[in-house]
Amino acid sequence: MRVLANQLGKKIGKQVELRGWVHRLRELGGKQFIVLRDMSGLVQIVAEPDKVDGKLDVETVISVKGIVKKDERAPGGFEVHGAIEVQGESAPDWPFHRYMSTELQLDKRHLWLRSTKMQAAFKIRQTILSASRDFLAKQGFWEVAPPILVSSACESGSTLFELEYFGSKAYLSQSSQLYLEAFLPSLERVWALTPSFRAEKSRTRRHVTEYWHLEPEAAWVDYEQNMTLQEDMLKHIIKQLLDKSSDALAEFGDRAAELEKWRKEKWARMRYGDVIDKLKPKFPKLKWGDDLGTKEERYLVDHLDSFVFVTHYPREMKAFYMKVDEEDTKLVLNNDLMAPHVGEAIGGSEREWKLDLLKENMKIHKLKSADYEWYLELRKYGSVPHSGFGLGIERLMMSLLKLEHIRETLPFPRFMNRVYP
């Protein structure tokens, strides 16, 4: 029976069958040394030339029958000595070499997915998502299915992808939030994981045009409880990563100490106004009312060496649905969560749940009521105080894995200049 590369510990001295792809190969002293890759990891295979049935190249699919030996020098700590049978040939011109450009990794993405880095990133994503699901279920949230083809903007109209929809206009969703709000009188606490789309014209290290958006929305939750929920969820994710994904995590260097630190301490909450004051000496041109850019956000988290919630942004800067702070109506009851190494990873807020105040906000944001008729009706029939947030899964991965660029978090990242392959 077939075993996986990471199951050899219990098979020392025994005969096993392995299947997988040739990750690396070389000949040494008349013997074939192959690093075989399967979904679980890598293992070194040693075969005499007469025990190889077929032509070997990088990415050839093979099956191996042999004896497991312990070997500290081999990847994973084991070697399998035996015979190799070729099941699927591979052309000799595999495009990746030791020194290769990022462009090549993007042009040949369909093949680059086989790299150990990508393989580890996919495993980390799975742990993050199952930990989130697990956490939200325990917190009494229902997972729901909002639409992706939508009729109006949730966030800024300037980043909407428009499409022709049977003779009229439709858009690709930027956020499920408005639809999630419609579920509240039915399920009270809901969440969704969907692709979100932003027609981002700028090229930065943390923007893609298509990303995975995890959005909870809950009745009778205020903006402070909303932050507690975010902090608890992310700490649960970190714990699960440390407990369940240490092998995949190791592909990204020594992440455990920093993750452990973030998990243990309480995350600071700072008002936008205080953040501006704090950043002023370093960024003299920054003034109240300015958006925080990547540089400012990074400085803040580097300085604090942890996650930090920034609250009470100026009303004009933020979306129309955010609840105005009654103590200072220039501000909204919101939070951005700044994550180390990346900056904003979550945007959240208490929502304006009163019809007249919501209409007033829409006026300030120059939005037409007619475009949001259904959304306004939610305030007409049994509206309830509520809050929610949106987590960018890729931004979170960048932070937790300390990645320089968002492309490393996605199998097929989409940018302004790339939708291929």
User: β-strands 268-271, 210-219: how paired?
Assistant: unpaired
Residues binding ligand 4AD: number (CB under 6 A)? 23
Q: Applying CB under 6 A, which part among 8-16, 38-46, 250-258, 385-393 lies near ligand 4AD? A: 385-393
Check residue 215 for interaction with ligand 4AD (CB under 6 A). Answer: yes
Per CB under 6 A, the segment of 61-69, 172-180, 237-245, 306-314 that binds ligand 4AD is: 172-180
Residues 329-348 that bind ligand 4AD (CB under 6 A): 344-348
* By the rule CB under 5 A, 348 interacts with Mg ion: no
Among 177, 335, 361, 399, binds ligand 4AD (CB under 6 A): 177
- CA–CA separation, 378 vs 256, rounded Å? 45
Whether the CB-CB separation of 189 and 386 falls below 8 Å is answered with no
Nearer to Mg ion, 33 or 161 (CB): 161
389 near ligand 4AD, rule: CB under 6 A: yes
Task: State the CB neighbour count (10 A cutoff) for residue 394.
Answer: 25
Q: Return phi, psi of residue 87, to 5°.
A: -105, -35
Q: Residue 82 interacts with Mg ion (CB under 5 A)?
A: no
Q: Parallel, antiparallel, or unpaired for β 142-143 and 162-165?
A: unpaired
Name the one residue in this structure whose structure tokens are 């402070």.
224
141 binds ligand 4AD (CB under 6 A): no
Nearer Cβ to ligand 4AD (119/177): 177
Cβ proximity to ligand 4AD: between 255 and 395 the closer is: 395
* CB nearer ligand 4AD, residue 261 or residue 405: 405
Cβ-based neighbour number of residue 339 at 10 Å: 25
- Euclidean distance between CA atoms 38 and 23, whole angstroms: 9
Q: Does 298 bind ligand 4AD (CB under 6 A)?
A: no
- Cβ 213 to ligand 4AD shortest distance, Å: 6
Distance CA 120, CA 40 (A): 10
Out of 23, 109, 123, 207, name the contact with ligand 4AD by CB under 6 A: 207
Task: Identify whether the C-beta of residue 351 lies closer than 8 Å to the C-beta of residue 321.
Answer: yes
The answer to the question of residue 413 lying near Mg ion (CB under 5 A) is no
160 binds ligand 4AD (CB under 6 A): no
Cα 195 to Cα 30, 138, 168, 209, 220: the distances in Å are 52, 24, 23, 10, 27
Partner whose footprint covers residue 352, from Mg ion, ligand 4AD, none (CB < 5 to 8 Å by kind): none
Residue 111 or residue 199: which is nearer to ligand 4AD going by CB? 199
Q: Which is nearer to Mg ion, 196 or 383 (CB)?
A: 196
Name the pairing type of β-strands 41-47 and 31-38. antiparallel
CB of 37 to Mg ion, least distance (A): 39
Which of 211, 307, 313, 320 binds ligand 4AD (CB under 6 A)? It is 211
Phi, psi of 315 (to 5 degrees): -55, -45
Looking at this protein, which amino acid is placed at residue 305? D
Which of Mg ion, ligand 4AD, none is residue 213 near (CB under 5 to 8 Å by kind)? ligand 4AD
- E-only strand ranges, 272-396: 308-311, 334-339, 343-350, 386-392
**Which of residues 155, 181, 296, 325 is near ligand 4AD by CB under 6 A?**
155
Using CA atoms, how far apart are residues 94 and 405, in angstroms rounded to an integer? 25
Query: Residue 347 interacts with Mg ion (CB under 5 A)?
Result: yes
- Break the chain down into helix, strand, coil percent, rounded to 5: 35, 30, 35
Toward ligand 4AD, which CB reaches closer, 59 or 394?
A: 394
**Of 154 and 259, CB closest to ligand 4AD:** 154
Find the helix packing angle between 116-138 and 393-401, rounded to 10°. 120
78 or 197: CB nearest ligand 4AD: 197
Tell whether residue 107 is a contact of ligand 4AD (CB under 6 A): no
Between strands 61-70 and 142-143, the pairing is unpaired
Point out which residues pair with 71 in neighbouring strands: none
Among the candidate windows 105-113, 142-150, 207-215, 409-417, which touches ligand 4AD by CB under 6 A? 207-215
Give yes or no for residue 343 binding Mg ion (CB under 5 A): no
Binding range to Mg ion, per CB under 5 A, among 113-121, 314-322, 324-332, 347-355: 347-355
Name residue 79's beta-bridge partners: 44, 69
355/352 Cα distance (integer angstroms): 8
How far from 372 is each of 263, 318, 334, CA to CA, in Å? Answer: 40, 17, 21
Which residues here bind ligand 4AD, judged by CB under 6 A?
A: 154-155, 174-175, 177, 198, 200, 207-208, 211, 213, 215, 344-348, 388-390, 392, 394-395
